[in-house]
Chains A and B, each alone.
Chain A
Amino acid sequence: MIQYAWLIPVLPLAAFAIIAFVTRPWRRVSGWVAVAGILGALALALPTFWETLAGARVERTLDWLTLATGGVGVSPSLAGAGGGAQDPALHSAGAAQVAGGAQALALQVGFQVDPLTAVMLLVVTSVSFLVIFYSQGYMHGDPGYSRYFAFISLFCMSMLGLVLANSLLALYIFWELVGLCSYLLIGFYYQKPEAAAAAKKAFLVTRLGDFGLLAGILLLWSRAGTLEFTRLEQMISAGQFDPAFLSLVGVLIFCGAVGKSAQFPLHVWLPDAMEGPTPVSALIHAATMVAAGVYLVARTFPIFEAGSYSLTVVMAVGAFTAIFAASMALVNNDIKRVMAYSTVSQLGYMFLALGVGARGAAVFHLMNHAFFKALLFLAAGSVIHALGSQDLRFMGGLRGRMKITSTTMLIAALSLSGFPLLTSGFWSKDEILAAAYAKGEYLVFGVALLTAFLTAFYMFRAWFLAFWGEPRWESPQQSGISAQQAVPGAQHSAPTTQHHGSGVHESPWMMAAPLVILAIPSILSGFWGSPLAGGGGFASFLEGQAEATELNVWVMAASALVALGGIYLAWLMYGKRSLSPARVSAALWPVYQILIHRYWVDELYNGFVRIAVLGVAEGLRLFDVYVVDGAVNGVASMTRAASSTLRQFQTGRLQNYGWAMYAGAIAIAVVTIAAQMSR
């Protein structure tokens, strides 16, 4: 079954093509086609995963382009890795021709399945399936129903291709494809100016990072002559590159990860990306695409490991982003934005783990995070669907009306907060903390611990605000919202009238069922990597060797304590209401202002763009108008002036020409005679 792993992305691609070209007018059919496509992918991914677990590995490569010195030869199997994999030209990676130094440069694409890929395949297909299934309920009645399912199928294809790619080249192609799908889906409600702007912002900001990735790939290619991961790994372990070079390549590749995973300083696009439909936020901007950055670093980890300073950069950026984003999540009133910042923060956590060398812990956290964050978003989507608003200030008291949503979201929130021993989030977070502590990075350890506290607090702040207390969605005017509490950029839309009063109810089964299903891995997936699993746990599967997992009881206790502390503080402020949030924010007024304005990062970027970019553009515009255009127009007007003078000679009257002719003849005669006479 593992031999057919390349079929996994082909199925959603087929679904995309069918929806786009055939079933577009029949919406319900489109939805089911998308479900069928991803279900097929899931059905293939599961046996692939089991076989990988049993030790099977596969890698297939085929030549895509041969760049000969004499010209460009295109091999017949241009159809790509998936479609062309049955081509007889297909050969194993070991026989792949060496491109470096040879006359012909062969670009290869292919796929590979190893434990990292298998985990990603499982996560992506299962979350995608649940999200797409859920979307049928969520997008019900939307005019762009078919378009939505076409795009999301295209996204699944791109994401699955990304994790299957066996070289940086193929990975980069799918990397850009997921970026495109992200753009299309953020801007799904393109009639809405904010959504269109958010889509543009997401695309441009991630492009900024992608530029670094491309530069890193080209740099690596120039030195190594190959982009296949296994070959690069061999070359690195043979010590063919010097550490400074690898560090540079690593940092450049990390730039791409920073853009895609919304790390500081390119984190600004992700909160705005919440303009897209909520299932899209769950799938693309929480579970899968934004984790592609973590995947990229994990995939190219040998480069980072061998580099001299690249891991330190990853660690620093990750740690800073983790606490930076968590702090902004504390005060936001938009339920989706709280989770967007949470995602940024958790991705920072993963990079932190990678930075301290704990690749296994990072991918483990990625997997757990994908499950519980997707669940959080889908639950939030369920609330938004019922209420028509995503402002936490207009929620409250939903616990009794939406039992499934509130319970499943509680499970996810507990997992994200790292509720001790029972939840998956606890085990992966604990592993990251232990790795940081074991590495001796005590500052980073402290930052991570503080972030864990903040995470628990903001998550339960959101949960209590949404599901506890008095309902505020019936009379938004009385909920005492003052203008100064307004969050710039957040949505203030009050609940739409159609959902007023007793109309608020639990979502349909199509939406509720995925919530329940996702709640299971949100708790259980963590035990695979927990000390309870012994030496045969997640990390040993991923790394191919048993790691000495030492149980650090102190770290575990500290981690549990901060999680419980954060939850307790949130309970005091928003559950029991014995500690007034207004008084706390007043006491910490300067901090509150900084947080609610999100450190003015967006304003800073806008100002920079306005002054630097537009200033330079204006200068260049003037140069263009006066110098470039001036030269062109000058030549033109000179020519025209010359011609309008010269055309006077061309009267078109034969007699004038006759005069000139005879005058010339006489002049010649005079000269000749004068010459004769003077002889």
Chain B
Amino acid sequence: MVDPTTLTLNHFLLLGAVLFAVGLYGALARRNAVIVLMSIELMFNGVNVTLLGFSRYIASSAPLLGQIFAIFIITVAAAEAAVGLAIIIAVYRDRKTIQLDDIHLMKW
């Protein structure tokens, strides 16, 4: 029987899956570009949690590998967020909206 007070790999995986799913829903269902961007960050973090969990419980021969991986992802995500927000601001200045449905000049 698993002790509910101790952390296991499944806890990490469950948290990661929940974060990823919430982020996925946000990225696909919401129409506000900022929220979509935030949701994508959330998906990154879901992945990060999963990586940390694997690093802690499975890859004991290289204990820091997963964490380094996560740090890289955070770095990239930060850069991506900066670029994404810059694009959103630029679009907003031009179009006065950040509703994805209204940004369709290039469609067809």
Contact = CB atoms under 8 A, between A and B. Distances in A.
Interface of A: 652-655, 658-659, 662
B28 A655 contact: yes
Contacts of B107: 652
Interface in B72-108: 100-101, 104, 107-108
Contact of B108 (A652, A654, A655, A658): A652
B34 interface: no
A659 B36 CA distance: 14
Nearest to B24: A662
Nearest to A652: B107
B28 A659 contact: yes
A652 B28 contact: no
B104 A658 contact: no
Q: Which 9 A-B pairs have the closest CB atoms?
A: A652-B107, A658-B28, A655-B28, A659-B28, A652-B108, A662-B24, A658-B27, A652-B104, A655-B100
B28 A662 contact: yes
A659 B24 CA distance: 9
Chain B CB within 10 A, most for which of A652, A654, A655, A662: A655
Contacts of A654: 100
16 contacts: A652-B104, A652-B107, A652-B108, A653-B100, A653-B101, A654-B100, A655-B27, A655-B28, A655-B29, A655-B36, A655-B100, A658-B27, A658-B28, A659-B28, A662-B24, A662-B28
A674 to B, nearest CB: 18
A653 B36 CA distance: 14
Contacts of B27: 655, 658
Nearest to A659: B28
A652 B107 CA distance: 6
A652 B102 CA distance: 12
A668 to B, nearest CB: 16
Nearest to B106: A652
Contacts of A658: 27-28
Interface string B29-69: 10000001000000000000000000000000000000000
B81 to A, nearest CB: 18
Nearest to A661: B28
B44 to A, nearest CB: 16
Contacts of B104: 652
B30 to A, nearest CB: 8
Interface residues of B, number: 10
A663 to B, nearest CB: 10
A653 B107 CA distance: 8
Given A655-B28, A658-B27, 14 more contacts: A652-B104, A652-B107, A652-B108, A653-B100, A653-B101, A654-B100, A655-B27, A655-B29, A655-B36, A655-B100, A658-B28, A659-B28, A662-B24, A662-B28
A584 to B, nearest CB: 89
A655 B29 CA distance: 7
Nearest to A655: B28
A665 to B, nearest CB: 10
A260 B101 CA distance: 79
B35 to A, nearest CB: 12
Contacts of A652: 104, 107-108
A655 B28 CA distance: 5
A646 to B, nearest CB: 14
A653 B29 CA distance: 11
Nearest to A651: B107
Contacts of A653: 100-101
Nearest to B100: A655
Contacts of B36: 655
Most buried by A among B24, B27, B28, B101: B28
Nearest to A647: B108
A662 B20 CA distance: 12
A659 B26 CA distance: 11
A654 B28 CA distance: 9
Interface string B1-37: 0000000000000000000000010011100000010
A652 B24 CA distance: 19
Nearest to A663: B28
Contacts of B108: 652
A658 B28 CA distance: 6
Contacts of B101: 653
B51 to A, nearest CB: 19
Nearest to B29: A655
B39 to A, nearest CB: 11
Nearest to A650: B108
Nearest to B107: A652
A653 B30 CA distance: 12
Nearest to B27: A658
Nearest to B104: A652
Contacts of A659: 28
A566 B80 CA distance: 117
A235 B101 CA distance: 89
A267 to B, nearest CB: 69
Nearest to B31: A655
B24 to A, nearest CB: 6
Nearest to A660: B28
A66 to B, nearest CB: 59
A654 B101 CA distance: 10
A618 B104 CA distance: 53
A662 B29 CA distance: 13
B49 to A, nearest CB: 19
A618 B108 CA distance: 46
A659 B28 CA distance: 6
Contacts of A655: 27-29, 36, 100
A652 B104 CA distance: 8
A468 to B, nearest CB: 91
A652 to B, nearest CB: 4
Contacts of A662: 24, 28
A246 to B, nearest CB: 73
Contacts of B100: 653-655
A507 B31 CA distance: 100
Contacts of B29: 655
A655 B25 CA distance: 10
A654 B108 CA distance: 13
Contacts of B28: 655, 658-659, 662
A655 B100 CA distance: 9
B98 to A, nearest CB: 14
Nearest to B30: A655
A28 to B, nearest CB: 71
B47 to A, nearest CB: 14
A488 to B, nearest CB: 69
B106 to A, nearest CB: 9
A662 B28 CA distance: 10
B36 to A, nearest CB: 8
A652 B108 CA distance: 7
A174 B29 CA distance: 83
